[in-house]
Amino acid sequence: MKYSEDEILKEVSDYISQTYKGHYSAGNVQTLDLIDSVGDAEAFCRSNILKYASRYDRKGTARKDIIKIIHYAVLLCHFNDKAAAAMASDTGSTAFTVDYDK
């Protein structure tokens, strides 16, 4: 790819895999699942994107901050899709789609 997107996405994927093996879980329960269960997952993800963007490279960890921003953006996309699917279900719609050409 022109801008090394494939390499960056691989790095992000590796980072995400490591987070599920680390301190973000207690047994089989992910902390984010608890946050989602009280309806705060989207706000949590947005807040973390802002946190890491606002401190970008202030601690000498610019690349790590960017990777975390991407991770929270992926999570936000997931929870946004989940909310859209629930809304579509509530309104009787059969599906929701995203037109990336617009």
Counted domains in the chain: 1
Note whether residue 96 is domain-resident: no
Note whether residue 102 is domain-resident: no
Note whether residue 12 is domain-resident: yes
Note whether residue 46 is domain-resident: yes
Note whether residue 99 is domain-resident: no
Q: Does position 34 have pLDDT exceeding 80, yes or no? A: yes
Chain segment 55-81, per-residue pLDDT in tens: 999 988 899 999 999 999 999 999 999
Q: Which domain holds residue 60?
A: 5-91
Note whether residue 26 is domain-resident: yes
Q: Does position 53 have pLDDT exceeding 70, yes or no? A: yes
Taking CA atoms, 13 is separated from 5, 71, 85, 89, 93, in Å, by: 12, 9, 25, 31, 33
Task: Tell me the sheet residues that pair with 29.
Answer: 26
Task: Tell me the sheet residues that pair with 26.
Answer: 29
